[in-house]
Amino acid sequence: MSLVADARILFKLLRGMPSSGEAASRLEGFYAGQAEAYDAFRERLLHGRQELIQQLQLPDNAYVVELGGGTGRNIDFFGDKLNQLQQYQIVDLCPSLLEVARKRAKQYPNVSVAEADACTYQPQSPVDCVIFSYSLTMIPDWQSALNNAQSMLKPNGKIAVVDFTLSKQQNSLISVFWRKWFSHDGVHLNSDQPQRLQAMFPHGEYIEKFAKVPYLPFVRVPYYLFIANQSY
Ligand SMILES: C[S@@+](CC[C@H](N)C(=O)[O-])C[C@H]1O[C@@H](n2cnc3c(N)ncnc32)[C@H](O)[C@@H]1O
């Protein structure tokens, strides 16, 4: 962690997500200038990613797609298991983050990167697993992204999601605070997302947790992990 890198990220977070333009250019406007320092800062903000990957049980030669994969940070959480995958496809709309993902992917012949929209991207063949890691809350038409994810899964494929949410365990004032705080940066919290996931994939496991946020020592943000099979 470097204070200068943190200051650059905090400046971008304070400026927020541009409010006009196409999705890709808004994302680029937000992430350009923070892409190189993205991973170090998000390590302290995006909790549960390693846990999600470690809990995933995948068949040998699995084909995995991450929608909104950003810098590809999650591939490191696979460790040696990454070699057992047939393919790990990182899909994202933001060129600056994908540049970091491409550098990271160079050392892995089975990792590829696609600049595409999570709502419309389709893989070459049905996949064993789709991952959303803190991307659903950033995708305005998240219902389309979920429908698209479901459409690309093999009959026994898996969906794995980790993201921020609003919790019934926190009072409504705190929920209003989180909603406002995150929406400034293009992250739209709502409790409909986990509900929709559980309706689409009724046999999944849903866990809600609370995590620290950098530079906000007195609050805890709710996030959830969800893993489900397409069919049970
Ligand atoms: C908070 S980042 C998470 C990145 C990564 N999954 C991780 O865990 O570090 C959210 C990502 O979603 C991407 N994103 C937002 N809307 C998207 C869309 N419609 N299609 C593809 N990616 C999108 C952003 O560009 C960004 O990389």
CA angle, 56 then 45 then 215, to 5°: 160
Average pLDDT, the chain: 92
Q: Is pLDDT above 80 for 129?
A: yes
CA–centroid distance, 110 to ligand 1, in Å, is 21
H or E element that contains 173: helix 172-183
Q: With CA atoms as reference, report the closest residue to 10 among 43, 38, 29.
A: 38
% of the chain residues with pLDDT over 70: 99
Superfamily of domain 3-229: Vaccinia Virus protein VP39 (3.40.50.150)
Identify the pLDDT of residue 184.
87
Q: Which residues of 124-151 are buried (b: 16+ CB within 10 A; e: fewer)?
A: eeebbbbbbbbbbbbbeebeebbebbee
| pLDDT band of 227, cuts 50, 70, 90 | very high
Ligand 1: which of 30, 92, 131 to mutate, judged by most atoms within 8 Å of the beta carbon? 92
| pLDDT band of 89, cuts 50, 70, 90 | very high
The number of the ligand 1 atom at minimal distance from the alpha carbon of 94 is 25
Query: Measured between alpha carbons, how far is 82 from 111 in angstroms, rounded to an integer?
Result: 9
Count, residues in the chain: 232
Domain map (residue ranges) of the chain: 3-229
Average pLDDT over residues 221-228: 96
Ligand 1, atom 27: closest residue by C-alpha: 70
Cβ–ligand 1 contact at 133 (below 6 Å): yes
Q: Give Cα separations from 83 to 58, 60, 63, 123, 134 (angstroms).
A: 12, 10, 12, 20, 24
Identify the pLDDT of residue 193.
94
Q: Give Cα separations from 108 to 79, 89, 96, 197 (angstroms).
A: 12, 11, 20, 31
Cβ–ligand 1 contact at 29 (below 6 Å): no
Cβ–ligand 1 contact at 186 (below 6 Å): no
Pairing outcome for strands 63-67 and 205-213:
unpaired
Per the CB < 8 A criterion, the answer to whether 157 and 128 are in contact is: yes
Of residues 196 and 169, the one with the higher pLDDT is 196
Query: Measured between alpha carbons, how far is 219 from 37 in angstroms, rounded to an integer?
Result: 24
Average pLDDT over residues 29-53: 88
Task: Please tell me the pTM assigned to this model.
Answer: 0.93
Q: Is pLDDT above 90 for 157?
A: yes
